[in-house]
Amino acid sequence: MLFKVFPGNELETLYDILAGHHLVGPQLRGTDLNGQELFAFDYIHSFTELRLDFTSTVHSLKSFILPPRETLSSFTLTNGDWEKHVDLGIYKPHVFFGLHPCDINGLNKLDKVLTGPVYPDPFYTGKRKNMFIIGVNCSPQPWCFCKSMGTDTVLSGFDMFLTDLGDRYFVEIQSAIAYDILTELPIVDPTEADHRRFVELMDERNSKFTCQVDNSDLTKILDLEFQSPVWQEWGKKCMSCGSCASVCPTCYCYGVKEFVDLDLTNATKQRQLYSCNLIDFAMVAGGHNFRPDSASRLKYRYYHKHRGFQEAYEEALCVGCGRCGQACLAGITVPDVIDSVRRQEVPK
């Protein structure tokens, strides 16, 4: 990896170079009841809208790569015949300016499933291939447990990664295009002092992680405690609303529905992101539900993310961003659930 440094006031130049493209970044959306700022990823139209000092966005980046609703194919219907049309719905490259390591790691995890060798998803792959990603280092929030999930740093999956050293930016470069763009800025090689400042900053950041979860032997524990009454207790709390999945950067499950126009000339096949916590997730025609109660659905969510995905890809399908815990109406958080399964007691 190549490291360079550029002056802090040149960030706007970098923005200007890329501003000709669709540019998505963190922007302020409002404040919650406690006055805490709420951020969202959205299209940025001027440099002042871009808030690289954001804490964490409420929603993940998912609406840009796995839209909540997406048309998979459309049909023209004529006299009993039909023709199928496929449009991936992406025509331009997108710049993503200001993704935290967890968001980039989330994309890397999604890639394993959605761009893999078996039936790669062209809708996702199309968007993924047209992403230019500028990562930015974050300041840990009280709900972040990415350190425990090993996703507090990111090694791949971005074009450049910025760390604010105060009056200058330390940049890790991962792609030729990124290098090419940066040559238009007054970049210099980092000095020994820059190295030390970077390491100091990382140490300082590491000391700020407060939320932790013990993942050791978790796959075995989840198997052993599959029938544990702890799940029933969490099931009682869970309202099966699916908020956790809608904010999760790595939840990708969906349902497919077809719609036909009233004049019966056109039809579309759409997919809608779903949540395994919703009641009919595993219900088959005829009414049999393989996971009829909220406890079994919540258990499945954890089992898939921390046991099944681990088995398939040797990592958990969780980046520890803590968004699900923030969004949960019942206040269920991943560290609490995993701790309680490990210790076999549910916190009151």
Q: Please, which residue, 37 or 87, has the CB nearer to another protein? A: 87
Contact segment (CB under 8 A) with another protein among 96-104, 118-126, 191-199, 318-326 equals 118-126
Decide: is 208 part of the binding site for another protein (CB under 8 A): no
List CB contacts of 253: < 8 A, sequence separation 6 or more.
245, 273, 274, 275, 276, 281
Q: Please, which residue, 185 or 282, has the CB nearer to another protein? A: 282
Q: Please, which residue, 33 or 118, has the CB nearer to another protein? A: 118
DSSP label at residue 189: P
Q: Please, which residue, 95 or 319, has the CB nearer to another protein? A: 95
Decide: is 296 part of the binding site for another protein (CB under 8 A): yes
Burial class (CB in 10 A: 0-12, 13-18, 19+), 337: buried
DSSP state string for 260-306: E-TTSSEEEEEEEE--TTSTTTTBPTTS-BSS-SHHHHHHHHHHIII
Helix axes 294-303, 334-343, angle to 10 degrees: 100
Helix axes 122-129, 101-114, angle to 10 degrees: 140
How far apart, in Å, are the Cα atoms of 144 and each of 100, 138, 302, 303, 321? Answer: 12, 11, 17, 21, 5
Decide: is 217 part of the binding site for another protein (CB under 8 A): no
Torsion of CA 251, 271, 113, 103, to 10 degrees: -40
Q: Please, which residue, 38 or 77, has the CB nearer to another protein? A: 77
Single residue of 134, 162, 171, 276 touching another protein by CB under 8 A: 276
Site string for another protein, 142-161 (x = CB under 8 A): --------------------
Decide: is 345 part of the binding site for another protein (CB under 8 A): no
Q: How far apart are CA 293 and CA 277, in angstroms?
A: 9
How far apart, in Å, are the Cα atoms of 338 and each of 166, 221, 332? Answer: 38, 9, 11
Q: How far apart are CA 166 and CA 46, in angstroms?
A: 23
Single residue of 39, 169, 231, 303 touching another protein by CB under 8 A: 303
Q: Please, which residue, 29 or 85, has the CB nearer to another protein? A: 85
Site string for another protein, 179-198 (x = CB under 8 A): -xx-----------------
Q: How far apart are CA 179 and CA 174, in angstroms?
A: 8
Single residue of 1, 33, 118, 262 touching another protein by CB under 8 A: 118
Contact segment (CB under 8 A) with another protein among 29-37, 83-91, 98-106, 203-211 equals 83-91
Decide: is 129 part of the binding site for another protein (CB under 8 A): yes
Q: Please, which residue, 93 or 335, has the CB nearer to another protein? A: 93
**Are the CB atoms for 206 and 147 separated by under 8 Å?**
yes
Decide: is 95 part of the binding site for another protein (CB under 8 A): yes
DSSP helix/strand/coil, 188: strand
Decide: is 224 part of the binding site for another protein (CB under 8 A): no
Output the smallest distance, CB 311 to another protein, in A: 6
Handedness of CA 51, 34, 248, 242 (dihedral sign): negative
Contact residues toward another protein (CB under 8 A) are 17-18, 20-21, 72-73, 75, 77, 80-82, 84, 86, 88, 91-93, 95, 113-114, 117-123, 125-126, 129-130, 132, 177, 180-181, 223, 226, 252-260, 264, 267, 269, 271, 274, 276, 281-286, 288, 290-291, 296, 300, 303-304, 307-309, 311-312
